[in-house]
Amino acid sequence: MKINNFLTIILIFLFYLSSPAKDANTITIIPKPNEMKIGKGNFVLNPSTKIIYSQGLDKHADFLRDYIKFSHNFNLLITDKITETNKNFIYLNVKDLNSDSEEYELDIQPSKIMISSESPKGVFYGIQTLRQLIHSGKKIQCLKIVDKPRFVYRGMHLDVSRHFMPKEFVKKYIDFLAMYKMNTFHWHLVDDQGWRLEIKKYPKLTEVGAWRVDRGDKTWREREPQKPGEVPTYGGFYTQEEVKDIVKYAADRYITIIPEIEMPGHCLAALTAYPEYSCTGGPFTVPPGTYWPPLEAFCAGNDKTFEFLEDILTETMELFPSKYIHIGGDEVVKTRWKECPKCQERMKKENLKDENELQSYFVKRIEKFLVSKGRKLIGWDEILEGGLAPEATVMSWRGTIGGIEAAKAGHDVIMTPTSYCYFDYYQGNLELEPIAIGGYLPLTKVYQFEPIPEELSNEEAKHILGAQGNVWAEFIPTTTHAEYMVFPRIAAMAEVVWTNKNLKDLKDFMSRLAHHTKLLDDLKINYAKSMYDVKITSILDTIKKQVKVEMSTEALNPDIRYTLDGTEPTKKSPKYKEPFILKKSAKIHAINFYDKNKKSKESTTEIVLHKGIASIVTNINYDKKRYIAKGLYNIVDGVRGSLNQNDGKWQGVQGNDFFATIDLGEVKNIKKVSIGFLQNYHFSIFLPRDLEVLTSLDGKEFKSVGKVQNTIPIDEKKIFVKDLSCDINDKARFIQIKASNIGVNPDTHPDKGFKSWLMFDEIIIE
């Protein structure tokens, strides 16, 4: 051997020795464990590896064997006999079969893997961690994990009323939760559009309340109510036997099911079956789609209503052993109560000063009943209105305010604010996503959720038990679609509730998720790929009056190819490397590739370079709380708003007119002024009645140079952007815009009388 070669070998050997053991980042467990030390070497799984379990963990051993069978097709031997000579085994060890601890230890050594915990539950969580490690390969990095969750309540919700989901899927959903060490399934079993739980004493609840006419050919908000003579055919329900089976299935996976029986509102399916418990007596039909505002409520003045509900709750409690029973309580419209003699009589008798206090009376009465049966009431944050029931736990969904108020008053709280926890919201660019209820909640935003509000002291913060992702199903007609909305956001939520705040790191999470998708693929989960889609944004240089184009994806390491001429990018199109200056107006198209294949859908954005780019905007009327977008320059940055009012490009004003003055910095020849307006009928966003443009040379004296009327009917329900323009041909430095809001929604609108939004983006000056 030549001396050179010898040296090279020595050098390589030294390099190998000095390189750190496998970096923690390549261990791709979700949720991230709270303590982990990487060891030396690997455990190598093979068909002779044994699973040894301590007494009482036979089911745990079965789970692990099944996971390994799925990942590697090994049929491992299971035994409860440990011998000193054993090597090549996975040992499941529990100290106390009655313990409820959630902590576990996972110790991976070259010769064995040990999962140990105080409790069977802890061992189950250790198995979930190991399962993810094993799925990445047979060679498993030696390490030691000591892990326990940050929050005691780690939940996911599923609405099976708006669209019925078969029991097989409910079990699959429970498996999803288990994979991420979640411990609570909030089952939204009843609502206006369907009653899904068999109640023996009131069979019509499911004979009638579980069925509605099939309007599956229309989207939720377009569906007409049942017509006379039509037969309801869409729906389904769970028999009590099925529920027992599901509850057991969940318990085997250390998941508690909290059933939700909605009251006093969101109960039209129940009232269709038993109209005698309404204020008016009915008759009603089960709505096949939107029912807004949800007017009908249980009559709070009728004692028989309470008997009915207590009977239902009694059967519910027989099926569900959970400490908590969720009674809904959200969005009760009090119109019926205001008009009902019985409800008004109740208010007088109980000395209740308004209908909010009547609602509070209702909830307190139900709480008393639940408490007498040894249970605890949980309800949406509206139950705070009119006074909170003494022992109630609050689920804070309208932001965190309700949760803060409840925690300060010493009540327990589950955080589910819409802005971070509503998985029925869009998770990507609206134009690329299947129709959803609205909103915008991308994966990375879920990850950034902090369940403990800053407003709380350490002592008050103890009342925040945890958080939950909510899956409302108005726009989720199928189980595969439910998977799409849930994944991968559930993974982010799992880490929010499990992993300590100081260990959370978005980039690290995205990097682990990139590997974790292999498991999702192998499990054939229809997870959303929105994280791969390209977001096209702009950076405005207000000095040079230039627009830079920036492209990004939520997923790490994209290979973005783009075009500026409106054609579809291919792998051969220019690769996006860094923000670039746009020299002329463009229809930008971008796709993220992986090897030769498209990894994303095609994103498009139009940027119009015009004379007003980066001008100073003054004297503007817009809503500073909601659609502030990126500040005032947003309407003169060249980037057109999309069809999504929440895309960060739109600004809006509610109820009032829009006006603004643009200072071009110098006198310019102006040919035309156009403004884009959005119409989204269902979100109360309407085009203006008219647009007026005024010009000035000095910013003091303005003259009107054009006025146009909107000619599109106010009740046009399609979502669209419309440019209103004025031809001008004038010299001006200052341009003033006035657009008149229609003011309030028209009488035919579900939210009639509500102050309408006027949404505007890009004032294009040519």
Count, residues near ligand ACM per rule CB under 6 A = 4
Choosing from 157, 163, 266, 516, the catalytic residue is 266
Q: Which of 331, 385, 602, 730 binds ligand ACM (CB under 6 A)?
A: 331
Three-state secondary-structure class, residue 700: coil
Tokens of 106: 């996972």
Q: Which of 330, 606, 657, 730 binds ligand ACM (CB under 6 A)?
A: 330
Tokens of 673: 């002024």
- Give residue 138's Cα distance to chain centre: 34
Which does residue 214 touch among Zn ion, ligand ACM, none (CB within 5 to 8 A, set by kind)?
none
Residue with smaller CB distance to ligand ACM, 334 or 640: 334
Residue with smaller CB distance to ligand ACM, 330 or 431: 330
The DSSP line for 450-486 is: -SS-TTS-HHHHTTEEEEEEB---TT--SHHHHHHHH
Q: Which of 174, 340, 636, 737 binds Zn ion (CB under 5 A)?
A: 340
Q: Which position has the token pair 């802890």?
A: 122
Which does residue 397 touch among Zn ion, ligand ACM, none (CB within 5 to 8 A, set by kind)?
ligand ACM
Which does residue 331 touch among Zn ion, ligand ACM, none (CB within 5 to 8 A, set by kind)?
ligand ACM
Residue with smaller CB distance to Zn ion, 294 or 438: 294
Task: Decide if residue 195 touches ligand ACM (CB under 6 A).
Answer: no
Residue 595 designated active-site: no
- Which 293-312 residues touch Zn ion, going by CB under 5 A? 299, 301
Q: Which of 57, 279, 482, 639 binds Zn ion (CB under 5 A)?
A: 279
Encoded one letter per residue, x for contact with ligand ACM by CB under 6 A and - for no contact, window 364-403 reads ----------------x----------------x------
Residue 355 designated active-site: no
Which does residue 299 touch among Zn ion, ligand ACM, none (CB within 5 to 8 A, set by kind)?
Zn ion
Choosing from 147, 191, 198, 296, the catalytic residue is 191
Q: What share of the chain is helix, strand, coil (3-state, %, to 5)?
A: 30, 30, 45
Residue with smaller CB distance to ligand ACM, 277 or 422: 422
Residue 397 beta carbon to ligand ACM: minimum distance, rounded to whole angstroms: 4
User: What is the rounded CA–CA span in Å between residue 424 and residue 619?
Assistant: 37
Residue with smaller CB distance to ligand ACM, 380 or 440: 380
User: What is the rounded CA–CA span in Å between residue 198 and residue 217?
Assistant: 28
Residue 170's identity, in one-letter code, is V
Residue nearest to ligand ACM (CB): 330
- In 136-239, alpha helices (H): 167-179, 204-207
Residue 568 designated active-site: no
E strand or H helix at 92, and its extent?
A: strand 89-94
Residue 583's identity, in one-letter code, is K
Residue 618 beta carbon to Zn ion: minimum distance, rounded to whole angstroms: 54
Residue with smaller CB distance to Zn ion, 276 or 701: 276
Residue 194, by phi and psi: left (phi above 0), alpha (psi -120 to 50) or beta?
Answer: left
Q: Which position has the token pair 């189950």?
A: 124
User: What is the rounded CA–CA span in Å between residue 673 and residue 429?
Assistant: 28
E strand or H helix at 405, and its extent?
A: helix 401-408
Q: Which of 112, 342, 529, 626 binds Zn ion (CB under 5 A)?
A: 342
Residue with smaller CB distance to ligand ACM, 286 or 437: 437
CA-nearest of 661, 631, 657, 674 to 762 is 674
Count, residues near Zn ion per rule CB under 5 A = 6
Task: Using the rule CB under 5 A, give the single segment among 126-134, 231-239, 291-299, 388-396 that binds Zn ion.
Answer: 291-299
Choosing from 331, 385, 455, 623, the catalytic residue is 331
Residue 330 beta carbon to ligand ACM: minimum distance, rounded to whole angstroms: 4
User: Hey, which bits of 201-318 come out as E strands?
Assistant: 211-212, 234-235, 256-263
User: What is the rounded CA–CA span in Å between residue 356 and residue 382?
Assistant: 9
Alpha-carbon distance values, 207 to 195, 238, 243 (Å): 9, 12, 17
Three-state secondary-structure class, residue 256: strand
Question: What is the dihedral sign for C-alpha 551, 554, 557, 559?
Answer: negative
Residue 188 beta carbon to Zn ion: minimum distance, rounded to whole angstroms: 25
Residues lying near Zn ion in the complex (CB under 5 A): 279, 299, 301, 340, 342-343
Active site residues: 191, 266, 331
Catalog residues that contact ligand ACM under the rule CB under 6 A. 330-331, 380, 397
